[in-house]
Structures are given as structure tokens and as C-alpha cells.
Structure 1
Amino acid sequence: MHIWDVTNGARFSTYAIRADEGSGIISLNGGAARHVQVGDLIIVAAFASMSEAEAETFKPNLVYVDGSNTITHTNHSIPTQAA
């Protein structure tokens, strides 16, 4: 997965370790922990390999959280920027 830190501009790749469901825990360990501080606003992006046929019907899962990492809403379409 990729982590994009909106607060300080850091960009890096790392892996996920499952936390207890509903805990709101998003933590970074090892060297990755040096790139992000508690309270930073981050974007977590995960990727998957798929065939062209699968990609044509794929709907992404976007999850939005509040300051406590509680899910506020989800979406299946990527927002676009108007010109």
C-alpha cells in the first residue's frame, strides 16, 4: 500500500498489519514510522492486479474517516477535479 501524508508531503510504500475491528488504530512501525507523526492527515491507497475484463467493471472502495478514524461514509467512485 502507499501512504501519502497530506500534512508533511511524505510519500512511501509499506504493508498493513490488521488491528482489532472498530479500534480506529492506524499505526506505522519500523522505518515507515519516521515519516508520519500522530495527528497527521494521511491518504492510504491499496492496489490490486486484475485482468482488463475485471478492471472494466471494478468499483473502488473509498473509505472516509473522522479525526478518531471512525468511518463517516464510503463511496465507490473516485472524485474528479473540474477544470
Structure 2
Amino acid sequence: MRWVLRSKIHRATVTETRLDYEGSITIDEELLERSGIWVGEKVTVADVNNGNRFETYTLPGKRGSGIIAINGAAAHLCDEGDKVIIMAYELVDEPIHAKVLLVDSENGVARELVY
């Protein structure tokens, strides 16, 4: 069995950082659904601006809001306006195709790809 990329939200813009929060990353519910990432799922977040990488879990944000909020301790690792890549993986014994959302500057879906 191998860990493979299942879903990715590519170059989303961080809209908020909230240090005084119980933790996680809040993602627009529409982006979660379209990418196939579940609420509560563990994700890896890579900050394109500074190279920081961390793991957390997802929470749903208001549908259509474009919210990408870095919460809790991870808020020290990103700044508002940073570009991030949000990745979810799956442990499988056969190859799968990853669903990838390319987003615009307001975190709307610009394109959907399958790897």
C-alpha cells in the first residue's frame, strides 16, 4: 500500500490567520466539496511564500465566501495573502487519479484537473 495524492487545492490565498482558535484550517465549503476533501480530514498545507509545511484538519467555511483561514498554532506559519497548496492523501494498493482545483485570487475555482 502507498500514500498517494487524492485531492489538491492549488495556490489558494490565505484570507485570515486566527491564532486564538482551537486549531485547523477553515476552507470554503464549496472548495471542500469540489475537491473531494472531507470536513475533519487531515491535510498537508504548504505555504508557497515562505516554504512552511504543516498538517492539520479541515473545517467548513461559508459556501462561496472564498475563506481560507489558518487557525490556532499554525497561524504563526502563514500570513494573510500568502498562497498555499492544500493536499489530501489516501492509502491505496492501486493507482488513483487525483482531483486538483486551480483557484483564482479570490479562491474561486478557475480550473479542475485530474492527475
What amino acid is the match of 2:79? Answer: Q
- Structure 1 unaligned runs (5+)? 78-83
**TM-superposed deviation, 1:67:** 0.8
Runs of 4+ displaced beyond 2 Å: none
1:11 aligned to 2:53?
yes
1:42-61 to 2 correspondence within 5 Å?
42-50=84-92, 52=93, 55-56=94-95, 58-61=96-99
- Aligned residues: CA RMSD: 1.0
- Structure 2 unaligned runs (5+)? 1-42
Name the count of aligned residue pairs: 73
Counterpart of 1:23 in structure 2 is 65
Distance 1:60 1:23 in 2: 24
How high is the sequence identity, in percent, across the aligned residues? 33
Counterpart of 2:19 in structure 1 is none
Of the two, which has the highest radius of gyration?
1
Q: What SS does the aligned partner of 2:58 have? A: coil
With a CA cutoff of 8 Å and minimum separation of 6, indicate the structure with the bigger relative contact order. Answer: 2
Match of 2:107 among 56, 62, 69: 69
Distance 2:69 2:83 in 1: 13
Q: Which has the higher strand share?
A: 2
Normalised TM-score (structure 1) = 0.81
**CA deviation vs aligned residue, 1:44-79 (integer Å, no higher than 9, x gap):** 1111223x1xx33x21110010111011001001xx
What amino acid is the match of 2:100? Answer: L
